[in-house]
Structure 1
């Protein structure tokens, strides 16, 4: 070629420089405690891992030495015939290259190929035989000084005697050399390598460690150099922070919580009988399942479990990860605990966390917990306490790129998985796969859990806590006390009960299964209580983010106090980790686990002798199945027959009997079984029922904010059901409104949200 080979366009970086940057990043990331924890996490040999990782890092972008990619680096709008990582993998399958590499000792070419091929998560089963254009021949620059220099580095690293082989100057789809490479790649990728790693656990572990390691090293090399950072210096200051100590977690997290409890109870905090449950969590093993009722202080127990992990020292951890099923619960977890830590160590990470963190900064003097958005997920590597959605970390199991970049943090952490009952079946299957395949301290937490899931977790070695509640008198007494008066009724009666309770000065929470019925019920109550000056709160997922946050705050504040009456209608958004304490709860029939969670939003703090709960039949079974609702009816019959009152213990016992029936997980996930292949797929087992949209009236503001990289554009985003007609952005708008559609103003108001049923 007539010009220097480039790997990056902004800033321009030669191909050789980027490959050596990536190898430097690999060495700088994987050393000391991070290397020890990474290889323990993957169960891989550290010496063999580093050797193969460095080779793969040096080779991963060699396929960029082709004219199409080089023209792209110089601004041309060209579609590649072959993705560069595919071409790199094919080069590794050239007979001359394989023979050369096999002269080295202790080299696993297939592990290197899989890491090179998968480092952008865009390699499906057809990659070896696929061309993305009609072009069937490309000029290659594989014998240039840059590429030969890289091959010589690999030669010295592997202590290979022969010089690097002469490589082809062209790629031709029909040339016998490349046909043979494709055949070899196809055979190994589709069958041979997959079967090999299935039979050989240690080889699979090595393969996974190297594949993920290249992603981390490539991302670090690209991002840090682009932003002008020294690779080694930045990693020393951010990733390689000191090991967490007991003193750290006491100072950064627990002392602030103890002070808060002292203010609540009006006396110095101590681990008396009331907090024996939390104190004893420190003595749990490094893998445990904590199951206790709503409002029983599980999160404090979890941090004390982390303290125990640190104190025992069997894992030398540098981080604590609290992973939640939803953005809202992750944000609440940050506010309740993580925010107490220094801003350099505390983090929140989910789809709109940058916006949420901005909202916490009421003045310029407030702590700024945000990370540099230009560094992508790398910006989180410096955090030691992190509250996040579970997808952001465990989705590496489904070949999610960002999640894979975060693996150096995950391997260095004690991990708490909260609300595990709320994971859909695919998510829970992959949690099982995670627990089986990787070695990291994990605490799973829940108030309720079907027997199948509990058994699966216990069979994986998670210690059930508390197993003997009689030793924890305060907890046992709380769970056995009469807490709920549960009755069934019809919707008309439920409406009347809500009105009467509100007029009687009570806090009334009404939970329904769909957004449409939530809005209609809120409107019905609003009309009925208009003369009472009622502010009927309507809270669900179909608001613009700015209004959803407002509704969330209003609902929490309304039920936090007990002096004033309040009334709110919500969907399932109220079920998890929200400290709502209603006097009267009304709910549509829902699956057993959902009912138990909803019941837990009433009489939460034990200020009442009992709360009144009314359950009625929904108009339709959706979004659930009739089978799930039939089991819920049986559950409800048993609970209501235990009149006059029901306890949390009774609910847990009946959930074991009538809870959802599920098949057992097989312990597999795409990341574990993919072999050569690496192609991202959804982490959650749900249909994409909504589009992210902006309203017509917000299009201009959204574009202005996106163009200005202002995180407040997130507050304009609105989830709209797929069955509602929305518009695609026009050509000028699409540049900014990527993945967003435009929704009509006429169906939206900030009180009730997006009302799809309106004409």
Structure 2
């Protein structure tokens, strides 16, 4: 337990830092010079009584009169407080781990209380009535069971799924290949190890979060929610969103809109099942608003982190810190394969707090050992592509950059075959349409399908190809791409072996040169024999993980009263744009900016894009700088 004096000091840190704009600037000259503090109000005394009771302090004094305070004096005191700290990071170095967690949790709770107080009411209910009801909205056993049955599609539970569900460690690690039933195992784990607790299913990308929601939670009886930056758009596409894009709250004042945004961020307080990006949860450790607002529900939830092999160094570091500092939350970690050094990092972190990792729990051996792939060698595989398509089969060609994908689709032989082009550089509504085109084409039995894609194929495309052609890429990317090849193969069905062809790209971008060298060595170790998912994993997990300057400072836990936001992932250069053709619709709120936003690399040197008009936090390039086609995507004009 903290001593009373030290506890009071930490409480003051949290109170000061719970405001996201602390420390304040000097008040404007036209600001009221005084404020009244209602010390005599019964609510003030009741609050003091509650605090003294919780901290085992003597009864608080009663104040008979209110007090006026000059804002200039308050601001001066706050500036003195800031100056006295000098450096919050240095100050927190002297704090114990327990004290850091205490300040972080208290600050998050105060921020959420502040937001709830600002909203005031939700519909006909007062906020305290709504909160009381919200935290009672928890998943029922039959809801989770229905999700499991939906995933099984009439099959029996596999032994590894039962093992996952019965593992009692707070943190459990599952390592199983594509199509093994990890997701059903996760919902069964939640039902047995965290009954009556809210569930957050955390995916690495918005695409995978939406696919997970579509595949498992798209059922009104589940009372589930999809949460990520473009969730409202995806919900409309799934037929569950608001039919009118010009919603009432969109026409409100800035303050009203901010309150609506806060209310939306708090919605998961009352949502039993949440499908979200991992940023929704781990963003908490870097003071991201959505994570802070979700804290009251995260603290009482069970969490599933899927595809953890895809985390960059910073995101993985955030996961490890979360596991060690948020110790009351059960977590299930899942992936097809994970390098041994990363697994040992998780083990060591848990050992350091006196816990042991449950697992690894491996997927079904018959699926893991099933031979699915064989490498072929062909530097110009167009004849191979045409032969496979002539047999009414499926071809997936994956390249490393959008420019290469667009160029490949313009190849004379590609034009004759009319591939579907799918990458990230579309208006979002067009990107979703291209995603659907690819899925539907590959789902048609006895019909040819040909798609040219970038890395977007690695996780969010649930399809099975008969021929995979791919650029050389880092090992985890290649494993994910191979997960789209012969994906539906099952033991005893004689599904056969499917070929893959590796093409060396002209350059190494967007990856590092050493990553491609490691991938070449890994491919050489695989040889030319028939391969299973177990073969891919076994040769990868032994690979050393290069050292990096990963983030080890997380401002929610280490920053004291500092409420600044820091990046969660390793950022790549780029800007979001809105086309001139969409500008009016966005400004008039006939369209959401999320529907038409396009992520682009920075334009060529000499174009001062920072001076361009800005709409909804996106730049609007002048006419003539962008070429756009809804089936090809966007590119800067040369």
User: Which category describes the TM-score, using the shorter chain as reference length?
Assistant: 0.7 to 0.9
Task: Tell me, in whole angstroms, the C-alpha distance in 1 between the residues paired with 2:238 and 2:284.
Answer: 29
The answer to whether the aligner puts 1:194 opposite 2:75 as a matched pair is no
- Once the two structures are TM-superposed, the CA of residue 284 in structure 1 deviates from its matched residue by 1.7
Greater fraction helix: 1
Match in the other structure for 2:256? none
- Once the two structures are TM-superposed, the CA of residue 333 in structure 1 deviates from its matched residue by 0.4
The answer to whether the aligner puts 1:319 opposite 2:198 as a matched pair is yes
- The answer as to whether partners of 1:140 and 1:168 remain within 8 angstroms in 2 is no
Change (3 A) 1:699 1:557: same
Alignment deviations for residues 442-474 of structure 1 (CA, whole Å, 9 cap, x no partner): 01111122222121223323322325x7xxxxx
- The answer as to whether partners of 1:691 and 1:740 remain within 8 angstroms in 2 is yes
Change (3 A) 1:501 1:507: same
- The answer as to whether partners of 2:89 and 2:560 remain within 8 angstroms in 1 is no
- The answer as to whether partners of 2:378 and 2:501 remain within 8 angstroms in 1 is yes
Match in the other structure for 1:499? 386
Change (3 A) 1:444 1:223: same
Change (3 A) 1:503 1:402: same
Match in the other structure for 2:515? 628
Change (3 A) 1:195 1:377: closer
- The answer as to whether partners of 2:284 and 2:291 remain within 8 angstroms in 1 is yes
- Once the two structures are TM-superposed, the CA of residue 331 in structure 1 deviates from its matched residue by 0.2
Task: Tell me, in whole angstroms, the C-alpha distance in 1 between the residues paired with 2:324 and 2:434.
Answer: 40
- Once the two structures are TM-superposed, the CA of residue 665 in structure 1 deviates from its matched residue by 6.8
Change (3 A) 1:591 1:660: farther
- Once the two structures are TM-superposed, the CA of residue 302 in structure 1 deviates from its matched residue by 1.1
Match in the other structure for 1:207? 103
Match in the other structure for 2:357? 462
Change (3 A) 1:139 1:577: closer
SS at match of 1:449: coil
Equivalent positions of 1:303-318 (< 5 A) are 303-310=187-194, 317-318=196-197
- The answer as to whether partners of 1:691 and 1:741 remain within 8 angstroms in 2 is no
The answer to whether the aligner puts 1:329 opposite 2:237 as a matched pair is no
The answer to whether the aligner puts 1:378 opposite 2:246 as a matched pair is no
Task: Tell me, in whole angstroms, the C-alpha distance in 2 between the residues paired with 1:665 and 1:690.
Answer: 21
Match in the other structure for 2:298? 410
Alignment deviations for residues 695-729 of structure 1 (CA, whole Å, 9 cap, x no partner): 1222222222x2x5x54x43222222222558679
Match in the other structure for 1:453? 342
Of structures 1 and 2, the one scoring higher in RCO (CA 8 A, sep 6+) is: 2
- Once the two structures are TM-superposed, the CA of residue 737 in structure 1 deviates from its matched residue by 3.4
- Once the two structures are TM-superposed, the CA of residue 395 in structure 1 deviates from its matched residue by 0.5
Alignment deviations for residues 38-92 of structure 1 (CA, whole Å, 9 cap, x no partner): xxxxxxx8xx9xxxxxxxxxxxxxxxxxxxxxxxxxxxxxxxxxxxxxxxxxxxx
Alignment RMSD: 3.3
- Once the two structures are TM-superposed, the CA of residue 404 in structure 1 deviates from its matched residue by 0.3
Q: Which one of the candidate residues 416, 441, 444 is aligned to 1:558? A: 441
Q: Which one of the candidate residues 558, 561, 565 is aligned to 1:673? A: 558
Match in the other structure for 2:9? 110
Alignment deviations for residues 373-392 of structure 1 (CA, whole Å, 9 cap, x no partner): 67231223221111011112
Alignment deviations for residues 662-704 of structure 1 (CA, whole Å, 9 cap, x no partner): 45978642211101211012211113x3222221222222222
- Once the two structures are TM-superposed, the CA of residue 182 in structure 1 deviates from its matched residue by 4.2
Alignment deviations for residues 192-233 of structure 1 (CA, whole Å, 9 cap, x no partner): 99347x543333332222111001111111123386641222
- Once the two structures are TM-superposed, the CA of residue 482 in structure 1 deviates from its matched residue by 2.0
SS at match of 1:280: helix
Match in the other structure for 1:120? 19
- The answer as to whether partners of 1:507 and 1:565 remain within 8 angstroms in 2 is yes
The answer to whether the aligner puts 1:605 opposite 2:502 as a matched pair is no
Match in the other structure for 1:354? 232
Change (3 A) 1:165 1:114: farther
Size of the aligned set, in residue pairs, is: 600
Task: Tell me, in whole angstroms, the C-alpha distance in 2 between the residues paired with 1:132 and 1:647.
Answer: 66
Task: Tell me, in whole angstroms, the C-alpha distance in 2 between the residues paired with 1:573 and 1:283.
Answer: 34
- The answer as to whether partners of 2:163 and 2:361 remain within 8 angstroms in 1 is no
Task: Tell me, in whole angstroms, the C-alpha distance in 2 between the residues paired with 1:380 and 1:397.
Answer: 18
Question: TM-score of the superposition, structure 2-length normalised?
Answer: 0.85
Alignment deviations for residues 514-551 of structure 1 (CA, whole Å, 9 cap, x no partner): 11001111221xx21545xx330111100011110111
- The answer as to whether partners of 1:559 and 1:580 remain within 8 angstroms in 2 is yes
SS at match of 1:483: strand
- Once the two structures are TM-superposed, the CA of residue 427 in structure 1 deviates from its matched residue by 0.8
Q: Which one of the candidate residues 366, 370, 393 is aligned to 1:477? A: 366
Match in the other structure for 2:144? 249
Task: Tell me, in whole angstroms, the C-alpha distance in 2 between the residues paired with 1:296 and 1:333.
Answer: 15
Match in the other structure for 1:4? none
Change (3 A) 1:703 1:229: same
- The answer as to whether partners of 1:587 and 1:614 remain within 8 angstroms in 2 is yes
Alignment deviations for residues 340-366 of structure 1 (CA, whole Å, 9 cap, x no partner): 3526x210011110111112227999x
Task: Tell me, in whole angstroms, the C-alpha distance in 2 between the residues paired with 1:160 and 1:609.
Answer: 78
The answer to whether the aligner puts 1:653 opposite 2:506 as a matched pair is no
- Once the two structures are TM-superposed, the CA of residue 181 in structure 1 deviates from its matched residue by 6.2
Match in the other structure for 2:118? 222
Q: Which one of the candidate residues 565, 589, 594 is aligned to 1:714? A: 594
Q: Which one of the candidate residues 178, 189, 194 is aligned to 1:294? A: 178
SS at match of 2:333: strand
Q: Which one of the candidate residues 537, 543, 546 is aligned to 2:429? A: 546
- Once the two structures are TM-superposed, the CA of residue 296 in structure 1 deviates from its matched residue by 1.5
- Once the two structures are TM-superposed, the CA of residue 433 in structure 1 deviates from its matched residue by 0.5
Question: TM-score of the superposition, structure 1-length normalised?
Answer: 0.72
Q: Which one of the candidate residues 563, 573, 584 is aligned to 2:456? A: 573
Match in the other structure for 1:487? 376
Structure number with greater Rg is: 1
Equivalent positions of 1:418-433 (< 5 A) are 418-433=306-321
Match in the other structure for 2:156? 270
5+ residue gaps, structure 1, are 1-44, 49-101, 263-268, 312-316, 366-370, 470-474
Q: Which one of the candidate residues 24, 47, 60 is aligned to 1:160? A: 60
Alignment deviations for residues 607-650 of structure 1 (CA, whole Å, 9 cap, x no partner): 631111000111100111111111111001111x2x33122111
- The answer as to whether partners of 2:603 and 2:609 remain within 8 angstroms in 1 is no
Change (3 A) 1:744 1:442: farther
Change (3 A) 1:334 1:154: closer
SS at match of 1:386: strand
